[in-house]
């Protein structure tokens, strides 16, 4: 077993077999509420991280996958490149990892699960000398009206630097940076922000200026990037505290 992190009742490890990957696919299907098993061609080229509950006979409670690229020139082979024009990132000099299909079992609400998942991600990043982490951060459903304060906050505080800004590629998008004129209600914005995206933003992450309307997955998602070298020192210490 390739253990990445053990903390309290939870352990995070790399998938080691087709059965491990199948378990992750089944959890994704349950968490995302899809009619068919959630699998695609990226499953065969990604590393899969499994978070298990040792007090529930090793029950799988969280999973995600990671696709490693040696530099920005490979970014077009990412899952995100299906939805975003990532030409600006082709000049990124350094190893990149796309984090995708993140989900937590709907019956588990322990915040330690997310902490352990990010601790495992931190170990993976350190072990593989990763310089940028990116992916698609999803809001449930495809109706934008529920998330206007969240999108207004993303526009106000968290847009990608111009040198990395993804351009529109998908046919159905919500251009919140150009369309919204409201000041965000911070409390409402944070309540509606997905937990994974909140964590990215707390570490200095940034987002695209538009959200993709993904009706197949019944989500709205924004491209999210995090340059590892830009994580504030205090946040790095918190992540390191989890992995010790």
CA distance 55 to 183: 45
Residue 174 near residue 211, CB atoms below 8 Å: yes
pLDDT tens-place values along the chain, 244 residues long: 577 777 789 999 999 999 999 999 999 999 998 889 999 999 999 999 999 999 988 999 999 999 999 999 999 999 999 999 999 999 999 999 999 999 999 999 999 999 899 889 888 888 889 999 999 999 999 999 999 999 999 999 999 999 999 999 999 999 999 999 999 999 999 999 998 899 899 999 999 999 999 998 899 999 999 999 888 888 777 665 655 5
How many other β-carbons are positioned within 10 Å of the β-carbon of residue 178? Answer: 9
> Radius of gyration (Cα) for the chain, nearest Å?
17
Residue 226 near residue 204, CB atoms below 8 Å: yes
- Residue 120 dihedral angles phi and psi, to the nearest 5°: -65, -40
Show me where the domains of the chain are located. Answer: 2-243
- Return the C-alpha torsion angle 72, 231, 138, 76, nearest 10: 0
Global confidence as pTM: 0.92
Instruction: For domain 2-243, give its CATH number from 1.20.990.10, 3.40.630.30, 3.20.20.70, 1.25.40.10.
Output: 3.40.630.30
According to DSSP, the residues that pair with 99 across neighbouring strands are 66
How many other β-carbons are positioned within 10 Å of the β-carbon of residue 63? Answer: 27
Q: Angle, nearest 10°, between helix axes 195-202 and 111-127?
A: 50
């Amino acid at each position: 077993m390739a253990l990445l992190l053990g903390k309290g009742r939870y352990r995070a490890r790399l998938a080691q077999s087709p059965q491990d990957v199948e378990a992750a696919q089944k959890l994704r299907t349950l968490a995302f509420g899809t009619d068919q098993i959630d699998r695609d061609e990226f499953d065969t080229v990604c590393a899969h991280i499994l978070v298990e509950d040792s007090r529930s006979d090793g029950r799988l409670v969280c999973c995600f996958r990671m696709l490693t690229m040696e530099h920005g020139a490979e970014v077009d082979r990412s899952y995100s490149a299906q939805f975003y024009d990532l030409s600006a990132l082709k000049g990124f000099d350094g190893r990149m990892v796309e984090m995708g299909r993140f989900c937590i079992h709907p019956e588990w609400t322990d915040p330690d699960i997310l902490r352990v998942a990010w601790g495992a991600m931190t170990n993976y990043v350190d072990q593989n000398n990763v310089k940028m982490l990116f992916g698609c951060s999803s809001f449930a459903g495809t109706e934008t009206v529920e998330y206007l304060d969240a999108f207004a906050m993303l526009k106000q505080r968290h847009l990608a630097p111009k040198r990395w800004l993804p351009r529109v590629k998908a046919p159905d998008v919500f251009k919140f940076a150009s369309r919204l004129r409201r000041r965000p209600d911070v409390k409402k914005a944070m309540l509606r922000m997905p937990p994974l995206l909140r964590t990215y933003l707390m570490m200095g992450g940034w987002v695209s200026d538009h959200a993709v309307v993904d009706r197949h997955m019944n989500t709205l998602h924004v491209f999210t990037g995090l340059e590892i070298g830009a994580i504030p020192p205090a946040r790095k210490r918190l992540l390191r505290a989890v992995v010790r």
